[in-house]
């Protein structure tokens, strides 16, 4: 097992503990990670106590149909944007019984990048208690590495926010 895989497993255990302490549930809305975060969460036995559901919304249509992301928002800003990842995170809350959400959209490559949004551009969105956080990442590596790093970062970030939440 790789160090990163075991690190993701440890992050999931920490996340599970924080969510269980608060009695909260998590929903994920994933595009470029294709369900990796949801899979990592449900790999942990007992995850049904804190993991509510995952949305894999790879296409723009799925983002609109499953999460309620306005098509106009995607057309104006692109699927890989702060506006869209925030709408994904908020949509995951609206379309679930969760109190916490993680959303990820990005360009994992090897193609699909541009000068404005190169391969490795990833937006992470997190919603917690009516607050939405977002952050842009520029990641290096191949497709698999970018996807794994995106999942790792999103998990680490939500734990950080949960630890700071009063």
- Estimate to the nearest angstrom the gap between the alpha carbon of 129 and the chain centroid: 16
Q: pTM for the complete prediction? A: 0.95
d(CA 54, CA 34): 10
Per-residue pLDDT, 2: 47
Query: Two tokens at 123?
Result: 């937006």
| Phi, psi (rounded to 5 degrees) for 154 | -60, -45
Query: How do strand 121-128 and strand 100-106 relate by DSSP bridges?
Result: antiparallel
CA–CA separation, 74 vs 155, rounded Å?
A: 25
Secondary structure class of 67 (helix, strand, coil): helix
| Structure confidence by residue, pLDDT tens digits, 40-72 | 999 999 999 999 999 999 999 999 999 999 999
Q: Write down the pLDDT at residue 21.
A: 96
Taking Cα atoms as reference points, which of 101, 100, 105 lies closest to residue 73?
Answer: 105
DSSP 76-117: HH-SSSHHHHHHHHHHHHHTSS-SEEEEEEE--SSS---SSS
Mean pLDDT taken over the chain = 95
User: Are 42 and 116 within 8 A, CB to CB?
Assistant: no
- For residue 19, the SS3 value is helix
CATH architecture of the region 3-164: Alpha-Beta Complex (3.90)
Q: Any idea where the domains of the chain sit in the sequence?
A: 3-164
Give the pLDDT confidence of 120-145 residue by residue, as tens digits: 999 999 999 889 999 999 999 999 99
């Amino acid at each position: 097992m790789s160090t990163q895989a075991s690190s993701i497993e440890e992050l999931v255990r920490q996340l599970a503990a924080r969510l269980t302490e608060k009695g909260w549930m998590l929903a994920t809305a994933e595009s470029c990670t294709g369900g990796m975060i949801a899979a990592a969460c449900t790999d942990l036995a007992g995850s049904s106590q804190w993991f509510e559901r995952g949305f894999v919304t790879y296409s723009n249509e799925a983002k609109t149909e499953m999460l309620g992301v306005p098509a106009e928002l995607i057309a104006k800003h692109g699927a890989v944007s702060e506006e869209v990842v925030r709408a994904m995170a908020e949509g995951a809350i609206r379309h679930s019984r969760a109190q916490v959400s993680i959303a990820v959209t990005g360009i994992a490559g090897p193609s699909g990048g541009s000068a404005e949004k190169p391969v490795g551009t990833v937006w992470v969105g997190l919603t917690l208690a009516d607050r939405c956080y977002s952050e842009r990442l520029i990641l290096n590596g191949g497709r698999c590495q970018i996807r794994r790093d995106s999942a790792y970062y999103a998990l680490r970030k939500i734990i950080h926010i949960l630890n700071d939440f009063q």
